[in-house]
Amino acid sequence: MRYFPLFIDTHAAQCLIVGAGEVAARKLELILKSEAKVTVVAPQMCSTVAGYQDHPSVTLIQRPFQAQDLENKTLVFVATSDSELNASIHDLAVQRDILVNVVDNTPLCQFITPSIIDRSPIVIALSSGGVAPVLLRYLRQKLESLIPSNIARLGAFSEKFREKVKSSLAGVTARRYFWEDVLDGDIAELVEKGQEEKADKKFLEALQGAQTEQKVDGQVYLVGAGPGDPDLLTFRALRLMQKADVVIYDRLVSPAILELVRRDAEKIYVGKAKSNHSLPQQDINALMVKEARKGNRVVRLKGGDPFIFGRGGEEIQELIKANIDFQVVPGITAASGASTYAGIPLTHRDHAQSVTFATGHLKDGTVNLNWPALAHANQTIVFYMGLTGLPVICEKLIEHGLSDSTPIALIQEATRDGQRVVTGTLSSINDNPQVATLEPPTLIIVGTVVSLHKELDWFSQTQ
């Protein structure tokens, strides 16, 4: 490695910038993110630099550079258009043992400014040594998307308790294991969400438990896994899946999404299919409580969104009764994913001004819905879990006023490689032989928006 990465304490640093064009302005803006005092020297100054004339950390000197400008300086940036002057200032700075950077002239740089991700007190610096700036920008964009914007809270939280942990736990290894548990767990999540009082309490409990080798209660995260395509997961869902000790997942969670779960996490399948519940709901509730009581980070991974026909409300009611901490992470619901990937807008000014979500399978196994409220023109109806009840759905909608020529679409395995879309009308769909080959998960969309499917079907053309 040619450039050794260092972080310079800027609390008392004095920085000199020679030049005051737009290139110099960018360096000025960068340095002002630190605590350094900055002097800018140049005969002419662009409007951006001139705008800092009243900044308490900036001194603007409008004249040509002089050698005495280097006195008591920690860093020097040279950004003039005069290459001979730049080289001369470089030589003078080196003679005085002052770190110097001549902008866009790597051979005359004793240091280079990296690409920075600033989440102070957490700061990440990236460098390619000036040889691959586009690749560096690409990597920075990737990291920016992966690192939570509020990670700074976690840095400040760690600083607050650093000495207490040091005095409470003997040995570097014990402290490292403890901090890893904290930063990977629910305490960190509370800090990032701004719930510091609750985080402080759990932290002190965890620290006491670490001293006595006792585990405190864990936390449950109800996470929406979306309709199936792993690219549709939220960043937060992915982060929690990779922190989990235990993952309790259902049948609608695709194998591709399960591949993203932390490798050494315990995975427990509790899927439900028609007339085949591998684990009753009350047992799932008890399982979540049991695993959290062991001190585990539990992710309850649910297809779609936990609060849209996902029994999320029932599950958190049980967690509240058991006094188990929880968080809910929304996901893209099947209606949104399926309609988008099938090229069927749920609303459209020419077709539907409202959309209704309904379940095609009630708790008692019937399809006894409020049909008069559903059977309205100019709205879209989305039925979850309605494949078995399809004949009843079509019959009741026609009976309560919808035209028998109303378009209907059945979408199987929405957003996945195996997605299938079967269309027809309320009167014809049940006679389509393709319907008999469909299997859950299949979503039903009813309304004239379905007529746009062939025109807007972008996903099947990309497969």
Residue type, 460: S
Return the CA Rg of the chain.
30
CA atoms within 13 A on the CB side of 24: 28
- Which positions ≥6 away from 117 have C-beta within 8 Å? 123, 124, 125, 126, 140, 143, 144, 147
Evaluate if residue 374 carries a pLDDT over 90. Answer: yes
What are the structure tokens assigned to 241, written together?
Answer: 């899946």
Q: pLDDT over 70 for what percent of the chain?
A: 95
Q: What pLDDT score does 364 carry? A: 57
| pLDDT (tens digit per residue) in 251-303 | 889 899 999 998 888 999 998 655 555 688 899 999 999 999 888 889 999 99
Q: What pLDDT score does 148 carry? A: 74
DSSP 423: E
Count the Cβ atoms, other than its own, within 10 Å of residue 114. Answer: 17
Q: What pLDDT score does 332 carry? A: 95
| pLDDT (tens digit per residue) in 165-190 | 999 988 776 787 688 788 877 888 88
Contact between 184 and 297 under an 8 Å Cβ cutoff? The reply is yes
Residue numbers annotated as active site: 250, 272
341 band by pLDDT with thresholds 50, 70 and 90: very high
Domains delineated in the chain: 14-113 (3.40.50.720), 148-216 (1.10.8), 217-332 (3.40.1010.10), 335-456 (3.30.950.10)
Q: What is the DSSP string of 230-297?
A: GGGS-HHHHHHHTT-SEEEE-TTS-HHHHTTS-TTSEEEE--EETTEESS-HHHHHHHHHHHHHTT-E
Residue 318: what are its φ and ψ, rounded to 5°? -70, -35
Rounded mean pLDDT, 215-224: 84
- Strands 266-269 vs 379-384: parallel, antiparallel or unpaired: unpaired
- Strands 442-446 vs 407-412: parallel, antiparallel or unpaired: antiparallel
Phi-psi region of 15 (alpha: psi -120 to 50; beta: other; left: phi over 0): beta
130-134, 247-251, 332-336, 400-404 — which is least confidently predicted? 130-134
Evaluate if residue 371 carries a pLDDT over 70. Answer: yes
SS3 label, residue 136: helix
What are the structure tokens assigned to 56, written together?
Answer: 């308490």
Rounded mean pLDDT, 224-249: 92
Contact between 333 and 384 under an 8 Å Cβ cutoff? The reply is no
The pTM (predicted TM-score) of the whole model is: 0.62
- b/e 361-395 (16+ beta carbons within 10 angstroms → b): beeeeebebebeebbbeebbbbbbbbbbbbebbbb
| pLDDT (tens digit per residue) in 103-133 | 988 889 999 888 888 888 888 899 887 778 8
- Which positions ≥6 away from 193 have C-beta within 8 Å? 327
Q: What pLDDT score does 184 carry? A: 75
